[in-house]
Chain A
Amino acid sequence: MNKTVDINLANILFHVDEKAYNKLQRYLEAIKRSFAGTPGSDEILADIEARIAELFQEKLENERQVITLKEVDEIITIMGQPEDYMVDEDIFDDVPKTENTGSTPRVKKLYRDMDNKYIGGVCAGLEYYLGFDALWIRLIFIFLALFTGFGFIAYILLWILVPEAATTSQKLDMKGEPINISNIEKKVKEGFDGVAERVKNVDYEKVGNKVKDRGRTFFDALGDIIMFFFMVIGKFIGILLIIIGAATLIGLFVGLFTVGILDVIHIPGLDFYDMVNSTDAPVWLVTLLTFFAVGIPFFFLLYLGLKILVNNLKSIGNIAKFSLLGLWLLSIIILAILGIKQATAHAYTGSTRQDEVLFADKTPDTLLVRMKSSELYSYQEDIGFDGMTLTRNEEGERVLFSDDVHFDIQQSEDSLAHIHIRRDADGSTFEEAEARAGKIDYVYGLDGNAVVLNDYITTAIENKVRDQQIHINLLIPVGTVLQFDPSTRHKLGWATHYDEDLYPSDVPDYSWIMQSDGKIHCLDCPADVYKKERDEDGHIIINKEGVDIDLKDHGDSFKMKIGNDGLHIKSGE
């Protein structure tokens, strides 16, 4: 059982089933919409309604019969779908006065021109869009591709994202008038001409309407100008985004992917990655993740820029967008996990101590400190991390190597000379760190009255770079004279106390004696060493030997010296 609705079609009464009524109403609404804006649309609609009424009447056998869905469907089949009502505007080109022909200039859209293509028709399409010869555009693309790689990526992207001009209307869109200043100007002028004409032909009875029209035209023109400037700014931002996005992507691509791919081939320095890395993640994975994590946001930036610049860009699709987003999140999460893992490898610092007596039988009155350089220097590889680098030892094995070794002079508590060697290293547990510290290879020797210290440490590669360090303390009994070999220059640490106002690097120039207060006293320092022109507030001397600054203020002090042996800065209270 269904309700019926009474309707009036072309002044004739029909009983219509409720469902049929709804369908008929939707149909007529759709037709009305398809005629919206066409001159005489009301008349067309009335004609159509009249025809439908006529058809209904033919179908009904008596006046009491109700129109059902079946009849409505039949009518729709006869009359056609709303899109069948659309008449191609071109039909009326040769009919006078029906169309206001050529009123609006076409706005150009970027399409790929498949008729004049070499590869994908991108350049040929750009020819129309930008308005200069495709030959130049091709040359620019080739130039950019050869020298920066940007041309190549831009071409591929445009190839994917710009639709090809398949239909005539798309081809016309492609060749349409360019959006430039002269066109905007033309449009504005047209607007003013319209105003002028209306003023000339002013119809005083409808002057009110005219004023309204004139206002609208003027503001249309003003709107065009404002829109033009917004468009220019927008396009500029678009270009900027494209450049930023593309440059970053290319940089990343070249930088990371070459590293990732070259992992297969051995390049020096890359094995350092293994020394530093503690996550067991292979190089290519980390590279790929970094590429995604950094590259995807910049890809979207590039896409946004293209979208601003080119009106009818194809969307890359929601699936692509969301998978990229997912990939990005995944990369970030994995990188974060790897980062945490990496950080924990340095969580603990472990140390081992070595305490030995020098010259067990009798401490010589004069003790010479000498440092021994390593012949391993010559095998050093260029790439280092955390002060450590790779080299080969005497047996030709690859070892980690660091020459950051310093020593300090301190007072011995007994009558013997001692050496304290502390080895430090990091690890994910205290025990691991301690074990690693113990694996630092360091030796010293005695030669007559000389202590010979190696100025480098080595450790096997499998121990990896974990902030390995060494601290050497020479404990000297009171009254022992100390002399330094020139090789110890720059190797004396800051913890050595001495009673002259010298820099540690200058200490080896003189002879010293250990005093009972733990300081070493200079035996042969000239009295005026760095004491010229000195007053209570300190001094600044600039002469042939370099720059010497020594400032004191309320207990704070600052010393800087620039000389032949480099720059030294010391500050303290």
Chain B
Amino acid sequence: MDPNLSNVDFRDFWQLAPATVLSVWGLVVLLADLALAGRMSAPARRRAIGWLTLAGVALALLAAAGLIQVQQLAKAETQGTPGWLSPSLAEYFSRAGGAIFLGTLSADLQTGVLNVLFIIMLGLVVWQSMAWSFTEDWGEYFALVTWATVGMMLLAASEELVTLFLTLETMTICLYLTTAFEKTRRRSAEGGLKYFVYGSVSSALFLFGLSLLYGLTGTTQFESIREVLASTGPAARGLSGNVTGATALLLMLVGFGFKIAAVPFHQWAPDAYEGAPAPVTAWIATGSKLASFVALMKVFLHALQPWSHPSNELLGPGWLGVIAIVSAVTMTYGNFAALVQRNFKRMLAYSSIANAGYMLVGVAAASVSTRGAEAAGSVLFYLVVYAFANIGAFAVAAWLVRDKKTDDIDDLNGLGMQSPLLAICILVLMLSLIGIPPFAGFFGKLYMFMEAINQQHAKAWPTLMGLVALGLMNSVVSAFYYVRVLKAMFLREPGGSRRLGLAGGSIEIPIVIGTLVAIFFGIYPGRLMSVMQGAAVSMLTTTTSTSGGFASMISAPSGTGYAPLPPAMASAPASPKSTRLDPEQAKKYADRMKKAEAQAKALASPGAQPKNAPPGEAKDALAKKAEAQQEDQ
């Protein structure tokens, strides 16, 4: 027996509070539905169970925000730990913040921030689901959506392959089921089955790749995979001639490629998106994609990083070339295929494929850049912005299906006259998705492409430049199909036998929130960006449960995460500095992390800012700030 197993610290369960709350709440929802099933009609149950789920979401949000708060409070030694924590827990929180459960999961800034985001998005999806009765089994539906979220949260936190596979399956299986939930439409069942068959095949491929990787390295832990791969001699490193390695990598790419809908693993997406009820589609397109991208970045940018670009060739033999090709094909295919779509959800599916292509540019950049964490942070930023815009867009689809029974783009005709405010919100969402400057989508693309251009790797640079150029060209193409939506809303007369009714809160709120996010982070992208970069730092570095917090990990140059560059890489001309950090950079990151943590804390609890600090203290702080500024000059 592995002696480590006895060492599980049961206080680790506290770190899982948000996921635990949601899991339990799923059961509660199921039971409540069971109790109400005989007494209430389906629409009444929709509202009742929906509100019950929302209550659970609120509870989970509280737990997630509280967890960040407690972690920060406990870590800030000067402020002391809150009195209501037991001494044992206070001690625990003041040193934890790294890996939990023997290093299978992480509980750090990245998971904290993502948990909050997942829960907020889940809230919007649940809220949107209450718009109309597409099913009768509301208990099962809401429970499955909730459990899918648990899968996402843990997937984004996983630090190890077994956990990764399990959480991936948890998430996907729940999503398969919800896809087929719209009982009245044949397409829903078909979409569900296709999603399921494709998903199962790709997870089998993924698992086989995973088993090969396990065979090559003998471990499932990301960090030790990285070490094993990095310590193999330079000649054997890389994938040139390494058939097993290449196969393992590609098969794993299938798994992720399926989840993020990258060409050629994308074909399920349009059918599943079109078939699934709009809120489920929203959840597949946003939450699932966000979680899978995080996992992809963890595996590729952390565990498989030594394989990214071992030699100085243009494309290979690392996975950088593969990712570059997949990215280029994905964005081009997605955009061009979207041009001819008539169905709104199908168009969004292709646009989602195209967006995966853009984001892979950021991943490719992060793999070779000296600013790896910044590049990965820009991908996270883009994901968040994209996710909120898409939840808003799918709310529009839900509105169409509810009132017109179809969801073609033409069904939007004349919306601009009918409800101008919502039409303007949709306009903003579309402009943000195109990437027009004042909106967040623009900054998402800008940050990501800037990071891709702004790195010095001599050989990979042309590749990335090419990708960026292609990405910009594709943005232009994408404008065409987004503008079609605007054209329908503002330039066409309303037609058809059915009219769109009043949107109602459950449609309006996701649209409005998506719009506000697009506007706010467009005017003011800095803050979210710095939080995301901080999250990316903790995402790409390893944390262990034995050491004291990740900040100290980062500044420790001899820590496991920062092995010195192998000689072959160090001596290569224009040496590709990996995401591994030299001590100076580590220090820089540590500072940034602290800043980002503070901001994340502020984001999580707006009221917690020390507003009521005594004036003298505030003044001191201001004076210090002014001093610092003077020194700057």
Task: Please say whether chains A and B are actual partners in one complex.
Answer: no
